[in-house]
Chain A
Amino acid sequence: MRVSKFSGFRLVREALRGHRGWTPLWRNPEPQPTYDIVIVGGGGHGLATAYYLAKVFGQTRIAVLEKGWLGSGNVGRNTTIIRSNYLLPGNQPFYEFSMKLWENLEQDLNFNAMVSQRGIINLIHSDAQRDAYRRRGNAMLLSGADARLLSREDLRDLVPFLNYDDARFPIRGGLMQPRAGTARHDGVAWGYARGADALGVDLVQNCEVTGFRTRDGRICGVETSRGPIDAGKVGIAVAGSSGRVMALAGLRLPIESHVLQAFVTEGLKPVIPGVLTFGAGHFYISQSDKGGLVFGGDIDGYNSYAQRGNLPVVEDVVESGMALMPMIGRARLLRSWGGVVDMSMDGSPIIDRTPVDGLYFNGGWCYGGFKATPASGYAFAHLIATGRPHASAAAYRLDRFARGHVIDERGAGAQPNLH
């Protein structure tokens, strides 16, 4: 199938002939009986995995099986933040690898996912917090990322609308990553989908995996709502459903599923430059190119697959926002939604083999999977194609909990709702 190359020139040409030449972004293939590699989950991570398997690792005969529509999981319901501002050696190089992939994503995919590096600022409200952020900022620099420690005066210049006057927890500074920012979440899924499809990957929608087929302890295929499919290797990237899907393979995971709410206001003229994170409450915010203030806070805190949360958390999140920047009081909440996040026991993800030969697992991204999308796809593809973990993701092993090599950024321990 001929693929529509996207460019401004092409857009003009199509406009002049009534846009008749645009072709489908991807095909709607019937699932084949056999694939070399089946990726379960047509979200950001699954689509990116398929894309890199085909593009970088030379794999063919790949299918992505999606139970709903492409991008219907958390890639389509997050707050679009990308950043590599982690502390621990197990995490930071991976997220910085992701950031570098973000920085070339549009040219790689020929799709404008609107990666926008307008910066993220984590606010500091105490001396102890400044010490912790200094350690983190240094970790970022030492991993090749960027970071800046901001004074209160710097902040007044950059974000003058914060409450500097009568805050219960005064703002004493901030840690900024200038290269962080946002990306258009749906666009990321679509860009990878279109790219994978163009490389021959079958993207099969409305195809739910209902079981795994194994032979002698090795995977040999999947059962689906559209019939059995044979596969040499199967990769799972089903954020929000990890527990349910892996249970089909008889595996229990160090993961609990929780609900995270997110919010967007009516469109407004530009008012918030980058991403801001409150350090004394549960609140982070950015403004989309379209003008809506996109914000969120903590997870609701209880196990849930309901994809919706409750009112107290709505109030708590907005209260934090009002405390941080009381100028948003006159903006209106337009829409709220809930996503199911797979909270791992140390707050960090898993990209690893499983006890079932040929079955690979990618999950436990907690509330932060979106920013990882490119690196997660790349590292998962690397693992599936070569059998070895990608260097940046070498710490994301399933056995780290048993062995005591946890990657606990918050130091919260084995309680998922505290991460």
Chain B
Amino acid sequence: MLIPHPLLGPRDAQEFTYLGDARLLARPDGMAEGAEAAFYDYVYLRNNPAGVHRELWFHEHGDRSWLVVTRDTLTHDILGAELATDVVRRERPR
């Protein structure tokens, strides 16, 4: 597979380490009320879609940036890739 790194262009997937569902960006507040239930959902439950999946890849053997890659789990087609930091800054409720 080739991952379209937003800064470095297409890179072989072997340079990356895969983590999983990009929902892992949305870590609950550990000090909030009901944190244990929220963390159960965060740590363990997955939508696991057969189709478009937003997921985290770490450019471990490259520039060490975490990317959010949008990929189809049925075809492996990659629809896009962004720096995870950009995604967090854009999507996190403030």
Contacts and interface: CB of A to CB of B under 8 A. Distances in A.
Direct A–B contact in the complex, CB atoms closer than 8 angstroms:
yes
Nearest to A307: B74
Interface string A222-266: 000000000000000000000110010000111111000000000
A306 B46 contact: no
Contacts of B20: 256, 303, 415-417
Interface in A275-318: 301-306, 310, 312
Interface string B9-34: 00011100011110000000000000
Contacts of B75: 306
Nearest to A402: B40
B79 interface: no
Q: DSSP majority for the A interface?
A: mixed
Interface of B: 1, 12-14, 18-21, 37, 40, 43-50, 53, 55, 71, 73-76
Contact of A257 (B18, B50, B76): B50
A254 B44 contact: yes
A306 B48 contact: no
Q: DSSP majority for the B interface?
A: mixed
A303 B55 CA distance: 9
Contact of A256 (B48, B71, B74, B76): B48
A366 to B, nearest CB: 14
B74 A306 contact: yes
Contact of B46 (A244, A256, A310): A256
B39 to A, nearest CB: 10
Given A243-B48, A417-B20, 4 more contacts: A257-B73, A305-B74, A310-B1, A310-B13
Contacts of A254: 44-46
Nearest to A417: B18
Contacts of B43: 345, 401, 414
A252 B50 contact: no
Interface string A335-360: 00000000001000000000000000
B48 A303 contact: yes
A303 B45 contact: no
B44 A401 contact: yes
A243 B53 CA distance: 13
B46 A302 contact: no
A306 B74 CA distance: 5
Contacts of B19: 415
20 contacts: A243-B49, A243-B50, A244-B50, A252-B47, A253-B46, A254-B44, A257-B48, A302-B18, A302-B55, A302-B71, A303-B21, A305-B74, A306-B73, A306-B74, A306-B75, A310-B1, A310-B13, A415-B19, A416-B20, A417-B20
